[in-house]
Amino acid sequence: MAVIASKAPHVKVTVVDISEAQIGAWNSQDLPIYEPGLDEMVFSVRGKNLFFSTDIDAAIAEADMIFISVNTPTKTSGIGAGRAANIKNCELCARKIAEVATSDKIVVEKSTVPVRTAESVRRVLVSASTHNFQVLSNPEFLAEGTAIADLIDPSRVLIGGEQTPAGLAAIDALVSIYANWVPREQIITTNLWSSEISKLVANAFLAQRVSSINSITALCEQTDADIDEISRAIGSDPRIGAKFLKASVGYGGSCFQKDILNLVYICDTFGLKEVANYWHQVVLMNDYQKSRFARKIVSSMFNTITGKRIAIFGFAFKKDTGDTRESAACYVMKELLDERAQMAVYDPKVQRAQMFEEFRYSCGITEETNDAGKLIQTCGSAMEAARGAHAIALMTEWDEFASYDYQAVYDVMSKPAFIFDGRNILPHDKLRAIGFEVYAIGKPNVSK
Residues catalogued as catalytic = 255
Taking phi over 0 as left and psi of -120 to 50 as alpha, with beta for the rest, 31 belongs to beta
In the complex, the smallest distance separating the C-beta of residue 435 from ligand UGA, rounded to whole angstroms, is 29
**By C-beta, is 42 or 255 nearer to ligand UGA?**
255
Burial 280-319 (b: 16+ CB within 10 A, else e): bbbbebbebbbebbbebbbebbeeebeebbbbbbbbbbbb
CB contact at 8 A, 112 and 136: no
Q: Chain centroid to CA 347: how far?
A: 17
Total number of residues shown for the chain: 448
| Residues in Cβ contact with 38 at an 8 Å cutoff, skipping those fewer than 6 apart | 2, 31, 147, 148
* Helix pair 192-222, 117-128: axis angle to 10 deg: 150
CB contact at 8 A, 136 and 172: no
Taking phi over 0 as left and psi of -120 to 50 as alpha, with beta for the rest, 118 belongs to alpha
**By C-beta, is 65 or 142 nearer to ligand UGA?**
142
**By C-beta, is 53 or 69 nearer to ligand UGA?**
69
C-alpha span between 218 and 175 (Å, rounded) = 46
CA angle 418, 401, 226 (to 5 degrees): 65
**By C-beta, is 59 or 210 nearer to ligand UGA?**
210
Element (H, E) at 313: strand 309-313
CB contact at 8 A, 305 and 297: yes
Torsion of CA 49, 52, 54, 59, to 10 degrees: 20
In the complex, the smallest distance separating the C-beta of residue 285 from ligand UGA, rounded to whole angstroms, is 12
In the complex, the smallest distance separating the C-beta of residue 53 from ligand UGA, rounded to whole angstroms, is 25
**By C-beta, is 6 or 198 nearer to ligand UGA?**
198
**By C-beta, is 359 or 436 nearer to ligand UGA?**
359
| Residues in Cβ contact with 155 at an 8 Å cutoff, skipping those fewer than 6 apart | 141, 186
CB contact at 8 A, 230 and 244: no
In the complex, the smallest distance separating the C-beta of residue 74 from ligand UGA, rounded to whole angstroms, is 13
**By C-beta, is 26 or 317 nearer to ligand UGA?**
317
C-alpha span between 448 and 440 (Å, rounded) = 13
| Residues in Cβ contact with 423 at an 8 Å cutoff, skipping those fewer than 6 apart | 246, 248, 249, 394, 395, 396, 397, 441
By the criterion CB under 6 A, which residues form the site for ligand UGA? 112, 140-144, 203, 206, 210, 244-246, 248, 251-253, 255-256, 317-318
In the complex, the smallest distance separating the C-beta of residue 321 from ligand UGA, rounded to whole angstroms, is 7
